[in-house]
Amino acid sequence: MAKRVLIVRGGSLGRNTGLGAAHHNLVDMLNSGKIDGWELAGVCEYPLAKTSNPISRIWNRWFSHPKRVARQIEQLAQAKGCDLVHITDQEQAHLVPKNSLIPVVITIHDLFHMFPQQLQFGNEVVDIGDVSPGIIRRRDLNKLKHGVSRASHLICISRHTLNAAKSNFPSVESTCIPSGIDSARYHPDNQNLVDISLPDACNLLVVGSNDPRKRMKFLFEVIAKLPDEVKQGIHIHHVGNSSANSGIPQISELANSHGFTNLTIHGSSVSDEYLMTLRIKCDALLFPSVSEGFGYPPIESMAAGMKVICADLPSHNELMPDNSCIPADDADAWIKAITILHNDYISSNGQSNQPQNELIEHAKQYDNSVYCQRLSEAYSSFIE
């Protein structure tokens, strides 16, 4: 007889966010019976209401929903209807009840919000997480840390995060289980492409927000130093929130300030089909980020057969083939990599965006089938 797991989170984030995608993927795997020996006992969450009242949001997050979660866990425990509780991201760690009757595990995607730091890259200091949170967020973070400390076990999605968990929460057992993707869903032969007309150029995709750790400023500094024929022969496509953030101008202003106009801002609400079309039609993904919990854009791009130019920093560097990353602060290395992409485009008469079969095969290491097997074994060990 299958064991049962209650999946818990706070507000119902959509599939187009990193944390939301991971949550939905887990629920899908349980619903489809792909996690051997386990089935879904239910999902405890609440709809994200659009309200401008901060008191209502705080009340729901800190008081109403934690009581709802504790009540449902108690009821399931008394009815013997659940064997394990799984909170799907560390931003909801405050939902771990005190003295839970059922083991509670948390997926830890990253810990740089709880333990922010500043990293030096050349002459640039990059904030990893908010180093100066306001009074409300400081209290929220304190609740999250206490919640993690109450958990039975932590599932870390990268080795880097696992090391951070062991360092900051040494009394809580933790293990590393990388997140999974449906690799077949990204295969170039399985796509219904939308009608997007791209410029006659070496088209390069960037996916991510304008957060300081994504290093869009560094990328445009690199582009400004490219040889003129390369700079004029590439076109950047950005998918994500491009607004000004933490003192960084909006991405279009960043590009203009570095004398670069070959830029298309696609926004953060594009459909899966639209983004897949960009992956198929563009020549490569540029990923200069210096800190990620997992790094979905590189692994999803490789699953589509797309070349990836990636910074050699955690945790996204764990996903890449050996010796394929670039030092995050080596502008010359980035200039060389982009120049090679452009030269390949020219020498192939614009056909350099052909799927890379070796990358498609590499991405299969993170297929949902591998993830489900690891998770099934971990779940069973948590209740022994």
Q: Is residue 50 over pLDDT 70?
A: no
**CATH fit for domain 183-365, picks 3.40.50.2000, 3.40.50.300, 1.10.443.10, 3.40.50.720:** 3.40.50.2000
**Two tokens at 17?**
């966010």
272: Cβ–Cβ under 8 A, 6 or more apart, which residues? Answer: 16
Which pLDDT does position 126 carry in this prediction? 85
Residue 29: C-alpha distances to residues 38, 111, 294, 304 (Å): 10, 25, 19, 21
Which pLDDT does position 352 carry in this prediction? 94
Phi, psi values for residue 11, rounded to 5°:
-65, 145
SS3 120: strand
Any idea which residue has 């984030």 for tokens? 13
**pLDDT tens digit sequence for 56-77:** 899 999 999 999 999 999 999 9
The span from the CA of 68 to the CA of 338, in Å, is 51
Q: At what angle do helices 331-347 and 216-224 cross, to 10 degrees?
A: 60
Phi, psi values for residue 287, rounded to 5°:
-135, 85
Given the DSSP bridges, would you call strands 117-121 and 124-128 parallel, antiparallel or unpaired?
antiparallel
**pLDDT tens digit sequence for 199-242:** 999 999 999 999 989 999 999 999 999 999 999 999 999 999 99
Architecture of domain 3-180+367-382: 3-Layer(aba) Sandwich (3.40)
Could you tell me how far CA 219 lies from the centroid of its own chain?
Answer: 20
| CB-neighbour burial class of residue 99 (10 A; exposed 0-12, middle 13-18, buried 19+) | exposed
Which pLDDT does position 1 carry in this prediction? 80
Any idea which residue has 């901060």 for tokens? 54
pTM of the model as a whole: 0.91
Per-residue DSSP letters for 286-335? EE--S--SS-HHHHHHHHTT-EEEEBS-TTGGGGSPTT--B-TT-HHHHH
**Two tokens at 384?**
């022994």
Residue range(s) in the chain whose domain bears CATH number 3.40.50.2000 = 3-180+367-382, 183-365
Mean pLDDT of the chain: 94
Is 120:69 a contact under the CB 8 Å cutoff?
A: no
Q: Is residue 51 over pLDDT 70?
A: no
